[in-house]
Structure 1
Amino acid sequence: MDWMNSLAFYIVIVSLIGNLSAQTVVPPATTRTVRSTQTDTEPRIDGRLDDAAWAQAVPVDGFLQREPVEGASSSEQTIVRILHDDKRIYISFRCLDSDPDRIVASRMQRDSELHEDDNVSVILDTYNDGRGGFFFRTNPAGAKNDMVLTDEGRSRNEAWDCVWRSRTSRDSLGWSVEMAIDLDQLRYAESKDAVWGINLGRGIVRKNERTYLVPPPQSYGFRGGYRTSLLGRLEGLGELRQKPRLQITPYTLGGTDREFDGLDPTEQSTLNGGVDLKYGLTPSLTLDLSYKTDFAQVEADQEQVNLTRFSLFFPELRDFFLEGASIFDFGETVSVRGSGGGRPPTLVFYSRRIGIQDGNNLPVIFGSKLTGRNQGFQIGALNVMTEAKTFIEENTEKRFVTDTGLLLDGEEAKLTNRLIVDTLDVDVVDSLDVKRTNVSVIRVRRNIFGRSNIGFIATNRGPGEDKDYNRVAGIDVNLSFFDAAVSLKGWLAKSWTQGQSGDDIAGSGEFEIRRGSFEFEASYLDVQKDFNPEVGFVPRDDVRQYKVDARLRPRPKHPKIRQFSLGPEFAYVTDQNDLLQSSEFEFSAYMNLEIGDWIGGRYTRRFERLDESFEVHEDIEIPVGDYTFHGVGFNFFPRNARKVGGRLSYQLGEFFNGTRHRLSSDVSIKVTDRFTVENTYGLNRVSLPAGSFLTNQITSRLLYSFSPDFFVRGLVQWNSARKIVGSNFLLNYRYAPGSDVFLVYNHAWDADSEIKQRNRSVQLKVSYFWKR
């Protein structure tokens, strides 16, 4: 399907949906009402609050605590004013502070983790239905953070890059913020007397205090601050109309790329360009088109060490796929704590299957995406075409020498009857031919019963230059009862792959209770052996999995302890004949201190049945058999608001037929509000009858911000298991809203017995943002 057909198809889908009846949604009850005042004079955005326009606005205060004392008045006064005109909405915060010298502002880079600093936030539910909204946050240093919230705030799209302005200032009484948010960046229902949902928040980090206009219940957990099902009302907006929205962002890219793999190193210079276009088909539906989509500025994946039989799961980092990604979610819920040994989720759609093949990036010729909502429906459609490419890589591999002089690889050596007399390391040149591929995804969700939905998904990996195909279709339902305290979720999907038939269905059901300090989850997953979503992620097929997770989070009346979190998890996995394959029991207990630190530990018991041996490390195999092993772990997560923060985790215990010690640490040093050093270290020390080994994984990241719109970042990674060292340097200057300059340098080395260069590249990318 080429891009013209894709565009026509999307327009037909929109037309059909527009003719269907609307689902009436009853807005949730609200507890506070604030007003926006229309202004004819745009306030000057400099963070000082001395513009005369602000005197027209009605002041809002009376913030209440969510933490530490639920419902208590804020210990520091916050005053908010809201204005609007036909182009923007303006919001100011005056954050009074009794000890302004202790205000925490350690980050200046855009999209930083600002909850670790003093900060203010705004949620705008522009449909006033409690299902989602737009989130904005800033800190005293001027760093900005924005995201789109869906599923009542449970899902957050942090890749959304809104064009908005924010400035801050500090004085002897505290700090101030002024925001200007362009209305054409938001989706909202047109109305003669618009009412939006709103929440306003403030974090005072040194007190570990979080206050809100409408404080979400503590039982909502850490992510409660993003929940959109309990908001105030923003009135006074008057008549809101949306003009057709058009944004165009062309870019130019130039650079060199040198590959050292293969017998003849090659160097290639490039100079090309592309364009991204965003157009509002309706006030609530947006079409994105991208020609020669480029991801030069995307940071390298975090290195991981895999000591399991299954594939590693890497998060999506590319903005084109991240923006609006939540509508395409279909499959298992991603558990925060990762029960079942941290097994990745089974997903029908996993965007990293597009444009990435065995760790190599494929050129994206064209991409199109339609996202938004229409009369009770949430809609997502995606079409991407990737170019054909051949990858050549030189590796050093071990060969086994027979008594007759034959060289055999590892698998051949296992099967031969010949006597092995020696081993040799030989250079092997591998090539990977990837053909042109087209991927399409259609996703529709229908809101029902106020806070529930049903949905459908279809994916297609088209033939391109090849003639094979892979298709998947599925339905899902998400039901919410008793003010979201009880939920039921389920999905069912079937795949069609050329040359395969039968045993190609997968499905899952989940039941969840969250009430006060008690949480309970139970789920069932069934994946048949030939279920094959080639643009999805299936860590394990031919299985049935049962999971139960119970959690108690009491808050004792103790001056030093804020909360406990304790409970068991259990996962039980069989094959399709109900023969046990693996199981895991874990009991963990954590304590949240009043100063913000978390400390705790856990006990685990695992069972694994191996029907085939697997290589856990180079030349070290775990043989066929049944294994039961136990372990304990300790975790310490200090509050990251300090100059030096991070986390520490240590685990020890049995590992199959041996032992394993695992250490993981993250250390963040906030040298100034402009300069941060982050270091991650992971160690595995494993002893087995077949041999012992040690793995090290180190990541070091340096961030320096000249201003909120200008920063540099350096990254170095070493993974001893993969025998690779990589570095990445990025300079990003946003010279105008939405317009960027990127300078990127990448360098990789093979780190085996000797250090050898793998590749290096330098690229300069300049983009320009234009909107009408």
Structure 2
Amino acid sequence: MPPAVVNRDDRGRATLRAVRIEQPLMLDGRLDEDVYEAVPAAGDFIEQLPRSGVPATEQSEVWVFFDDRNLYISARCYDSHPEREVVNELRRDNSNLVQNESISLILDTFYDRRTAFFFQTSPLGAIRDQAVVDDGANENWNTIWDVKSGRFEKGWTFEMSIPFKSLRYAGAGPQVWGFNVRRIVKWKNETSYLSAVPASYGTGAINRIGVGGTLVGLETPAQSINLELKPYFVSSLTTDRTAAVPFSNDLTKNVGFDFKYGLTRGLIADATVNTDFAQVEEDVQQVNLTRFSLFFPEKRDFFLEGLGIFSFGGVSSGTIRGANGPTDPEVPVMFFSRQIGLSNAQTVPVRVGGRIAGKAGHFSVGALNIETGDKSSAGAVATNFSVFRLKRDVLRRSSLGIIATRRAPAVGNDGSNLLAGADANFQLFDNLEVSGYYTRTSTPGLKGNDVSYRAKVDYSGDRYGLYGEHILIGDNFNPQVGFLRRDDFRRTFGQVRFSPRTKKSRTIRKLTWQADVDYITDAPATVVQNRELKGEFGIEFHTSDRFWIDYRRDYEFLPKNFDIATGVTVPKGGYDYQSLNAYYTLGQQRRVSGKVAISLGSVYNGTKKEITYTGRGIVHSRFAVEPSITLDWITLPYGDFTVRLINTRVIVTPTPRMALSSLLQYNDSAHTLTSSVRLSWEYIPGSQLFLVYSDGRNTFAGGVPGLMNRSVAVKVTRLLRL
């Protein structure tokens, strides 16, 4: 029998009953309908941080309703000092919302403890959604839903409506879903949950689906056509004086569409014709003083649906990296969607493409085929990209899978580049993960040494941590539909951590001591390429400020001369160096917040000094400035140079569905000044208007920077949901 409203097991996991209503809720955030008096709320949230397992200090009440079209979630959030609420972020999908007063909920619609949908809002009615796969989040996934917030003298409220068509689930009729709710009271730096979660999971615990509660009593509508068509129109005026054949004020117009059809409630087919990326934000520049490539995340809408299914070996397929352990930068991405439609920092026309992604029983399946056109200025020829991914759920939260990719023609070759591999991921107990993969590529002209494999063990308890990894990448391993930072290496990495929480301090919440050992050779293990010993100490304060300091001793072997800067070449050979690095992060409850970092040390027989600041200044809850400054002073026997990278973003958010942002970036080492202004307006849910201006200028000659390129674009989309 389902519970009257909510009950709990001995581990604090809640089972909540959804209640059918006959009339749709009127979304206004007031919670003044009779149903709120007739149906008792679920409450008694359990604190995760700072004191795990005790009742939350601020009361929260949650209701779940549904009708034949929508799922409704409402909440009343009491606050003993509502005037102290930290509410300064309104941009859609922005991660800063975690640093605000907020409520988040997770819906495990297949009840498989592996995949889920995440929704978050705040007292301002902010909108943030994600797709979760294997405890990792695709932060750029979007769907159609709505929320309205309100205030009362003792806190704030909200009402949320999620159409069933916006979700993926097993089928029609009675449902049992995984469910949890997180509340963040930022002015206290307190996090609590409807169903208890361990402190060791940190702020991302909402995505740990396996420890969530259960939602019962829900009935989804009968199977109906699930079809979406999203046509677009775009026009742009472009000048490019750096192209092989320079041009000015070139006017272009185009139309296209995205098509989405639900084969089942869990398996979705997508198609795209003449895909355009005019609305995509400009990448933020990064300082790179290494000889390896930088990684930039995927931001294009078409590639974000079901992206987590294509993740392989515990590494994301194109969203933000760094969520899967300390060794991510060295681990190859077997499918990196930014290989499609981009070449030499230029867009390449995507003519047509199709994809199937979703769940079918115990299997997760993803298949993609896309055809791109040629573009001589980008050095791109017409190319076909194909990807196939299959995963089988095993045990409670583990999986086995395979992947295959193909690119034809291969880069610089008339043949095809192929990749095939298998992976395994075992989530054991609450904090232990064991995973690994084996892959091989085939590229015309490259024979042998085309293998990559990895084995990883990660114990991530709250007080203790232990991490070990071994990875190999052959010198002919060549995933041309993926991302590879470096090849021809074998790496062994180990890390130990001790991080006790204080019990009596009113200032310090947690202390961390950590030690890392990193040892990299070439693939045959005959030449040491890198060696690093690192010791770290960190302090987490109750205010959410953080202090961190580390000391590193490094060895690096350069197999050939390295042009580290214009006119400065580091000779090949072996180099020992060391550095001392300190960081301080200011919590976002302040008007001015951010991270300050200072680094002092030696590099390539010389010295390096670096200062960075990445911050945020709050002018108003709907108006913010985000400056970022990186200054490097490098002194080497082969030449001295300075790197200055400065960028500033200004954001105005009149509503949760409208944002005006500008980005100004100055890079003195590249002698460039770039700027962009972007207006995005979701005029109805799922339909958008974009106005984008961008330009790039050359600062090398001094005086007024000369124009290199400029673009003005307008794009309109309209979602038709049947």
TM-score bracket for the superposition, by shorter chain length: over 0.9
Question: Which of residues 11, 14, 20 is equivalent to 1:32?
Answer: 14
Distance in 2 separating the partners of 1:332 and 1:187: 23
> Aligned residue for 1:96?
78
Question: Which of residues 444, 457, 460 is equivalent to 1:511?
Answer: 457
Question: Which of residues 628, 631, 635 is equivalent to 2:576?
Answer: 628
3-state DSSP of counterpart to 1:101 = helix
> Aligned residue for 1:367?
353
1:609 partnered with 2:557: yes
Report how far residue 523 of structure 1 moved.
0.7
Distance in 2 separating the partners of 1:146 and 1:435: 36
Contact 2:314 2:435 in 1 (8 A): no
Report how far residue 222 of structure 1 moved.
2.8
Report how far residue 629 of structure 1 moved.
0.6
1:706 partnered with 2:654: yes
1:274 partnered with 2:221: no
1:477 partnered with 2:458: no
Alignment of 1:288-307 (within 5 A): 288-307=270-289
Alignment of 1:10-409 (within 5 A): 31-112=13-94, 113-151=96-134, 153=135, 155-190=136-171, 192-238=173-219, 241-261=222-242, 264-331=246-313, 333=315, 335=322, 339=326, 343-391=329-377
Q: 1:148 to 1:680 in 2, by over 3 A?
A: same
3-state DSSP of counterpart to 1:206 = helix
> Aligned residue for 1:550?
496
> Aligned residue for 1:415?
none
Contact 1:57 1:82 in 2 (8 A): no
Question: Which of residues 443, 460, 465 is equivalent to 1:497?
Answer: 443
Q: 1:84 to 1:187 in 2, by over 3 A?
A: same
1:443 partnered with 2:389: yes
Identity of aligned residues (%): 33
1:674 partnered with 2:660: no
Question: Which of residues 457, 477, 496 is equivalent to 1:531?
Answer: 477
**Structure 1 length normalisation: TM-score?**
0.88
Contact 2:562 2:570 in 1 (8 A): yes
Report how far residue 580 of structure 1 moved.
1.1
Residue type of the alignment partner of 1:214 = S
> Aligned residue for 1:644?
592
> Aligned residue for 1:460?
406
Farther-moved stretch of structure 1 (87-96 vs 71-80): 71-80
Report how far residue 332 of structure 1 moved.
6.2
Contact 2:181 2:206 in 1 (8 A): no
Residue type of the alignment partner of 1:188 = Y
Distance in 1 separating the partners of 2:220 and 2:707: 62
Residue type of the alignment partner of 1:186 = L
C-alpha distance after superposition, 1:14-59 (max 9, x if no partner): xxxxxxxxxxxxx998721211110111110011111234334331
Q: 1:190 to 1:331 in 2, by over 3 A?
A: closer
Q: 1:242 to 1:758 in 2, by over 3 A?
A: same
Q: 1:107 to 1:51 in 2, by over 3 A?
A: same
Residue type of the alignment partner of 1:761 = S
Contact 2:493 2:516 in 1 (8 A): yes
C-alpha distance after superposition, 1:57-77 (max 9, x if no partner): 331111111112112222221
3-state DSSP of counterpart to 1:223 = helix
Report how far residue 240 of structure 1 moved.
5.0
1:721 partnered with 2:721: no
C-alpha distance after superposition, 1:687-741 (max 9, x if no partner): 0011110001111101101111222111111112222111111111111111111
CA RMSD of aligned residues (A): 1.9
Residue type of the alignment partner of 2:502 = P
Report how far residue 331 of structure 1 moved.
4.2
C-alpha distance after superposition, 1:390-442 (max 9, x if no partner): 11xxxxxxxxxxxxxxxxxxxxxxxxxxxxxxxxxxxxxxxx53210110100
Report how far residue 337 of structure 1 moved.
9.4
Question: Which of residues 515, 521, 525 is equivalent to 1:568?
Answer: 515
Contact 1:613 1:624 in 2 (8 A): yes
Contact 1:469 1:497 in 2 (8 A): yes
Distance in 2 separating the partners of 1:206 and 1:135: 23
> Aligned residue for 2:717?
767
Contact 1:29 1:230 in 2 (8 A): no
3-state DSSP of counterpart to 2:620 = coil
Contact 1:564 1:592 in 2 (8 A): yes
Contact 2:358 2:364 in 1 (8 A): yes
Report how far residue 260 of structure 1 moved.
1.7
Q: 1:126 to 1:145 in 2, by over 3 A?
A: same
Larger radius of gyration between Structure 1 and Structure 2? 1
3-state DSSP of counterpart to 2:187 = helix
Distance in 2 separating the partners of 1:389 and 1:236: 55
Distance in 1 separating the partners of 2:372 and 2:480: 15
Report how far residue 615 of structure 1 moved.
0.8
Distance in 2 separating the partners of 1:694 and 1:464: 38
C-alpha distance after superposition, 1:229-277 (max 9, x if no partner): 1111211114654323111111111121111225754331011111011
Distance in 1 separating the partners of 2:401 and 2:10: 22
Contact 2:679 2:690 in 1 (8 A): yes
Residue type of the alignment partner of 2:568 = I
Report how far residue 382 of structure 1 moved.
1.3
> Aligned residue for 1:3?
none
Report how far residue 335 of structure 1 moved.
4.3
Gaps of at least 5 residues in structure 2 are 1-8, 316-320
Farther-moved stretch of structure 1 (273-282 vs 185-194): 185-194
> Aligned residue for 2:683?
735
Contact 1:288 1:369 in 2 (8 A): yes
1:588 partnered with 2:536: yes
Distance in 2 separating the partners of 1:80 and 1:601: 41
Contact 1:118 1:205 in 2 (8 A): yes
Farther-moved stretch of structure 1 (27-36 vs 172-181): 27-36
> Aligned residue for 1:403?
none
Gaps of at least 5 residues in structure 1 are 1-26, 392-431
3-state DSSP of counterpart to 1:229 = helix
Distance in 1 separating the partners of 2:651 and 2:223: 39
C-alpha distance after superposition, 1:306-345 (max 9, x if no partner): 21111122222222223321111124645459757x8443
1:599 partnered with 2:559: no
Question: Which of residues 638, 641, 654 is equivalent to 1:693?
Answer: 641
